[in-house]
Amino acid sequence: MGVTLQKANTGQNPIAGQHPKTGRFLMSRLRHAMTVGEQDLLESLIYKTQTLQGEHILIERGDFCDFSTMLIEGYMLRTIRDGDDEQIVGLQVPGDFVDMHAFALKRLDHDLVVIGEANVGYVRHEDLKRVLQDQPHLARLFWFSTLLDASIHREWIMKSNQLRAAGRVAHLLTEIWYRLRMVGLGNSKGFDTPLTQIHLANICGMSTIHMSRSLRDLREGGAAEFNRGRITILDGDKLIALGKFDPAYLYGEGGLEVGDALNIDASESLPLS
């Protein structure tokens, strides 16, 4: 289908010095839509950071939330539990504003789970409320980044019904590869994750045995290799084709590319208080 990853941001974080907590967020498609004042305001909203180790629940279903979370570095999962069964329904990468949903809902219907080592930043809901009232353009960008989660979820549902096992895995790996490169992580050769075969099987809705076979098919087919969390891209074009990956649903390029549509309108920005 002619998809490439040429527009993905593959450099290091050039603004980490000025914005160490929100630099990954700013490296995404939203950076050029934000004024310098908005970038500085976003950085100032994070009142506390925390480094977390291992797999554990950061926010549990039903917990009352008076803050939202920026994933500065690392990975997080959205999971739903039903008795002893757990289903992964979302994956967050560095730069994601993970739970803006909690600002409106106050309680999530799922768990947010940290895997591996992650650095997170917290934003008080009272400060988000002020942004919504005083900075409508910045508020719009926050909601844009949050609504991408729903777009990704819809794509996962479609691919789970459309593709065979190896294709579903190929699509997932390509999506992660693409999303990481948009925020300056990974490269044309691959990327590292704390994900295991069990995680991948859960996301793709298959048994670990089928996941093992699918990863073997991708390796033997010369598309990609998975080894202890390291994803090695053997042939990006093959991987993209197998997963029928079209990045349009990520609103970074293609038919849904936002371009200048999110740039500031003078009527949307009020003086910073």
How much is the pLDDT for 209? Answer: 97
Ramachandran sector of residue 229 (left: φ over 0; alpha: ψ -120 to 50; beta: rest): left
35 within domain boundaries: yes
Q: Which residues contact 265 (CB under 8 A, 6 or more apart)?
A: 137
Domain span at 143: 18-147
How much is the pLDDT for 272? Answer: 44
Beta carbons of 124 and 66 less than 8 angstroms apart? yes
Low-confidence ranges of the chain (pLDDT < 50): 1-2, 6-8, 10-11, 266-267, 269-273
How much is the pLDDT for 53? Answer: 92
72 within domain boundaries: yes
265 within domain boundaries: no
pLDDT digits (tens, 9 = 90+) for 15-47: 556 899 999 998 876 667 888 999 999 999 999
Counted domains in the chain: 1
CA–CA separation, 118 vs 51, rounded Å?
6
Tell how far CA 54 is from the center of its chain.
19
Single pTM value for the model: 0.90
Instruction: Return the CATH number at 132.
Output: 2.60.120.10
222 within domain boundaries: no
Pairing of strands 224-227, 190-192: unpaired
CA–CA separation, 266 vs 198, rounded Å?
49
Beta-bridge partners for 49: 121
How much is the pLDDT for 259? Answer: 63
CA dihedral 231, 237, 240, 242 (to 10 degrees): -100
